[in-house]
Amino acid sequence: MSSGGYAGALEGSTDATGLRFAIVSSRFNSYVTERLVAGARACLLDHGARGEDVEVFSVPGAWELPLAARQLAAQGFDGIVAIGCVIRGDTPHFEYVAGAATNGLAQVQMESGVPIGFGLLTTENNEQALARAGGREGNKGWESALAALEMVHFTRRVGAHAHA
């Protein structure tokens, strides 16, 4: 599979057959996150995952995503898709929550070795959020699931390549 990559470059497959995925989603701004979850789930199923191999988990907000992802990474999932939506307000709360969730998810991914698709929207307003949740900007839930899927295969191939 190539999407404009370098000739001969090692890339991950997008075949989800036989893989288990966790989708963990924030309930805050659920009118957005529910659409992102639907996109992520559809992506995995469209790429061969069985319905029972895609489990959806819910947490209160984006702040809780890293802890949930850490717990799920320890449960043997092949990949995780983290879904959330933080919309800028009039206080610095946006930066704290978005930054902490982003850094926390990166840390979990690096420490566990389990790929995490980053489906955390950080937008200025509701219109931007909805545009990225199945609107004119596509569905970032779908895109983050596809990235997680590709990275599952990538990490396995690089690991096998290093031990060959």
What lies within 8 Å, CB to CB, of 129 at 6+ separation is: 29, 32, 85, 87, 121, 123
* Helix, strand, coil content of the chain in percent (nearest 5): 50, 20, 30
How many Cβ atoms sit within 10 Å of the Cβ of residue 62?
Answer: 27
The catalytic site residues sit at 93
Within the chain, what is the greatest distance between any pair of CA atoms? 54
Q: At what angle do helices 93-112 and 65-73 cross, to 10 degrees?
A: 10
- Measured CA to CA, the distance from residue 15 to residue 27 in angstroms comes to 29
Token pair, residue 113, equals: 């070795």
